[in-house]
Amino acid sequence: MTGRATSGAWPVTVACRLTPSDIFTRLFNVATAAGAAGAQPNAAITTAAAGHARTARLTPAPLGNETLNRDYYRRGEAKGSCFIASLGAPRRQRVRPGDASEIGRLNALVTRAAGVATGGEPPKLFTTIARHRRLFRRWLRFAGALMPGGVLPREDTELVILRAAHNCHCDYEWRHHERLAGVAGLAPEEIDRVREGPGASSWTGRQELLLRAADELHAERTISDPLWSELHALYSDVELIELCMLVGHYEMLAMTLNALGVQPDRVPAGPPPRLARLLQRAVRS
């Protein structure tokens, strides 16, 4: 069983090995520990036992005089059958990138072309996912329909992608898209401010709405009625369909990158080459 708790810039995962006989006692203990770590009240913790799953909403209780040692939990050391491990730690590679013999000639050509277009090496995201040959080609077509081939303005698209990368703690996704966001028209200070979220100052009304939408979709897996009404005043139905799909896709991609342990690419400094910008315009036209 795992549950995620967030305290400022300190995201943690709470994980326990549970038996059916002690599941509710342990869940209460986990919720209490999460509360001491600064987790938000009423955090949803998904539990599984005896062959079925149920969702329990628990309000973390104070620990009295006991103080939770965050450094102890950051190291992921066990305390009973529970531990808290930092999500921000470097991830080891679990699935390595494939070579041409593993990903196939066509996929190898696609990954090399992507490297040339961006001015760097073949993206490890591509060479890793391409080991699933058929899935890679179908995913690539879908991803291209969202970015760069979507109907939303590119500046809006990159703003949303950066927020999704931040929310999912995906450094790989962030590194690539902070570069693309600059080409799309976001200023360096705006890119940095994405990490502060919609509450930061200096956002336009449109940008604030997009960031709020990305955060609500991340936290609640839906958009509230009041926010939807505000968005619908600025965006068409088609654009809002794309917005939801965009957040979902880049969160899925971030989770895949994190789980597979895809290592960072050597991203060249400065904007992508002119070839990449021409290709992006061609896809959108």
CATH number for position 275: 1.20.1290.10
60 and 137 part of one domain:
no
Question: Which letter, b or e, does each residue of 53-66 get, where b requires 16 or more Cβ atoms within 10 Å of its Cβ?
Answer: eeeeebebeeeeee
Same domain for 190 and 59: no
What confidence score (pLDDT) does residue 41 get?
Answer: 40
Are 168 and 131 found together in one domain?
yes
Shared domain for 149 and 243, answered yes or no, is: yes
d(CA 161, CA 173): 8
Residue type, 50: A
How far apart CA 124 and CA 261 sit, in angstroms, is 10
- Among the candidates 86, 110, 132, a domain finishes at 86
Please check whether residues 69 and 111 belong to one and the same domain: no
Does residue 91 lie within any of the structural domains?
no
* Domain containing residue 19: 2-86
Report how far residue 21's alpha carbon sits from residue 5's, in angstroms, rounded to the nearest whole number: 25
214 and 280 fall within a common domain: yes
Is the domain of 74 the same as that of 104?
no
Same domain, 136 and 269: yes
Domain C-terminal end among 86, 114, 134: 86
Q: How many domains does the chain have?
A: 2
Residues 245 and 128 in one domain: yes
Both 76 and 106 in a single domain?
A: no
Domain final residue, candidates 86, 114, 129: 86
> Helices 237-260 and 133-146: crossing angle, nearest 10°?
140
pLDDT of residue 278: 52
Q: What is the pLDDT of residue 276?
A: 54
Please tell me whether residues 36 and 112 are part of one structural domain.
no
30 shares its domain with 158:
no
CA-closest candidate to residue 259, choices 108, 100, 125, 84: 125
User: Per residue of the chain (285 residues), what is the pLDDT tens digit?
Assistant: 444 444 344 444 444 333 433 444 443 444 444 444 444 444 433 333 333 333 333 333 333 333 333 332 233 333 333 322 334 445 799 999 999 999 999 999 999 999 888 788 899 999 999 999 999 999 999 999 999 999 999 999 999 999 999 999 999 999 999 999 999 999 999 999 999 999 999 999 999 999 999 999 999 999 999 999 999 999 999 999 999 999 999 999 999 999 999 999 987 776 666 555 554 554 444
Please report the DSSP string for 221-252 in residue order: SS--HHHHHHHHTTS-HHHHHHHHHHHHHHHH
For 158, phi and psi rounded to 5 degrees?
A: -70, -35
What confidence score (pLDDT) does residue 194 get? 98
